[in-house]
Amino acid sequence: MADTNRQWRLAKRPEGTPGEDVFEFVEADVPDPGPGEALVRTIYLSVDPYMRGRMDGTSGYADAWGVDDPLEGGVVGEVVESNGAGFEAGDIVTGNMEWADYSTAPGTALQSVNPDLAPVSTALGVLGMPGRTAYFGTREVANVQAGDTFVVTGAAGAVGSVAGQIAELTGARAVGFAGSDEKVAFVEDELGFDRCINYETTDDYRAALDEAAPDGVDAYFDNVGGPITDAVFTRLNLDARVAVCGQISMYNATELPTGPRKLRHLISTRATVEGFLVSDFAPRFSEATEQLAEWVQSGDVQYRETVTEGLESAPDAFLGLFEGENIGKQLVRVGDE
């Protein structure tokens, strides 16, 4: 067993776009698992846009990270030692742990990962939190139906890529927004969306929608917010559903973001706009994971991962999310499988 450990801590709270200086890389002891805990060696670490909120003192829904505390996030790792945690050394598990080589966690907060089902990294992506977010957001919140036109922002990302494929599997037409020609090709050619719009090279989102979604928008899954969302609101159909999952375009804002007032578009359409967190669906997580695993195994759902190498790259991987550098799920490979 290794006797050295490295750990990322929050050096200070950022204002606006975080710089490297909000992260501090420290050496630390390998922790001892307390009673009921396991010691876990990190294999993959997940970085996710929602973590930007955890950097602030006033996080909306996930607990704020404490200054000088180790950062936390989704991890897939190998159990090194179990102190009555209900696992054995060598088991592959997932759970919320530290941005570190080694973490401890209560056995009750860890889930087994079956390496025969799919690559273990998928427990942080298509078969994990992002996949479940797409599953419940698309089916339950946006309530997508066969024949619908379904629009999703961040279409090449970990959540949007799965959301659009679920919509297509439901019999809807999926139209995505993504930020590069490479992403557009991935979304249309590999994921099978009906259309994908490159928002970086398109000035007029309304005109782009009129062309890509000529029958209007029945269901909208919003990961991004901002001007794309403004345009979609003007194209909502009767009884349209908007699922608000994220607003990444605003997470680093230092001034109050403004835009067109949009509530009037909801009156004649009788549209519904609803925010959600995947944790609201916790009692049904196994349903989602099983269905997603079936789709992945059958090839109905494709996925991609962008992996940076080494724990030292974690801040760059995180900050890259806001630059749109990832295609599919952004992971950090911390240790060998």
Q: If binding is defined by CB under 8 A, does position 16 make contact with a second copy?
A: no
Q: Looking at beta carbons only, is 79 or 151 nearer to a second copy?
A: 151
Question: Residue 239 and residue 271: Cα distance in Å, rounded?
Answer: 5
Are 41 and 78 in contact by the 8 Å Cβ rule? The answer is: yes
206 contacts a second copy (rule: CB under 8 A): no
Query: Is the CB of 77 or the CB of 246 nearer to a second copy?
Result: 246
Q: Which of 161, 229, 289, 308 binds a second copy (CB under 8 A)?
A: 229
Half-sphere exposure of 92 (CA within 13 A, CB side): 18
Q: Which of residues 30-59 bind a second copy (CB under 8 A)?
A: none
Q: Residue 35, class by beta-carbon neighbours within 10 Å (0-12 exposed, 13-18 middle, 19+ buried)?
A: exposed
Rounded distance between C-alpha atoms, residue 148 and residue 146, angstroms = 6
Cα–Cα nearest to 46, from 131, 151, 166, 115? 131
**Binding residue count for a second copy, defined by CB under 8 A:** 33
- Closer to a second copy by CB, 119 or 216: give it: 216
280 binds a second copy (CB under 8 A): yes
Task: Name the minimum Å distance from CB 141 to a second copy.
Answer: 9
CA separation for the pair 161, 187 (Å, rounded): 7
Binding range to a second copy, per CB under 8 A, among 91-99, 142-150, 153-161, 238-246 = 238-246
The piece of 20-28, 255-263, 285-293, 311-319 that touches a second copy (CB under 8 A) is 255-263
Query: Residue 63 CB, nearest distance to a second copy (Å)?
Result: 12
Contacting a second copy (CB under 8 A), which of 113, 118, 162, 245?
Answer: 245
Torsion of CA 175, 177, 181, 183, to 10 degrees: -90
Instruction: Considering the complex, state which of residue 269 and residue 302 has its C-beta at the smaller distance from a second copy.
Output: 269
Which residue in the set 28, 185, 266, 307 belongs to the binding site for a second copy (CB under 8 A)?
266
Q: Which is nearer to a second copy, 53 or 106 (CB)?
A: 53
Q: Should residue 218 be labelled a site residue for a second copy when binding is judged by CB under 8 A?
A: no
Integer Cα distance of 143 and 295 in angstroms:
19
Q: Which is nearer to a second copy, 134 or 244 (CB)?
A: 244
- How far apart, in Å, do the first and last CA atoms of the chain sit? 15
Q: Is 271 a residue that touches a second copy (CB under 8 A)?
A: yes
Sign, CA dihedral 32-33-39-42, equals negative
CB of 255 to a second copy, least distance (A): 10
> Least CB distance from residue 330 to a second copy, whole Å?
20
Can residue 263 be called a binding residue for a second copy (CB under 8 A)? yes
Q: What is the amino acid identity at position 194? A: D
**Residue 223 within binding range of a second copy, rule CB under 8 A:** no
Applying CB under 8 A, among 272, 291, 302, 313 the residue interacting with a second copy is 272
How many other C-beta atoms are found inside a 10 Å radius of the C-beta of residue 54? 19
**Single-letter residue type at 92:** I
Does residue 226 belong to the site contacting a second copy (CB under 8 A)? yes
Single out the residue of 98, 101, 148, 222 in contact with a second copy (rule: CB under 8 A). 222
| Residue of 143, 153, 247, 308 interacting with a second copy (CB under 8 A) | 247
Annotate 286-318 with b (16+ C-beta within 10 A) or e (fewer): eebbebbbebbeeeebbbbbbebeebebbbebb
Radius of gyration for the alpha carbons in the chain, expressed in angstroms and rounded? 20
Closest CA to 58 of 18, 98, 23, 15: 15
64 binds a second copy (CB under 8 A): no
Question: Could you list the residues that contact a second copy (CB under 8 A)?
Answer: 60-61, 222, 225-226, 229, 244-247, 250, 256-261, 263-277, 280
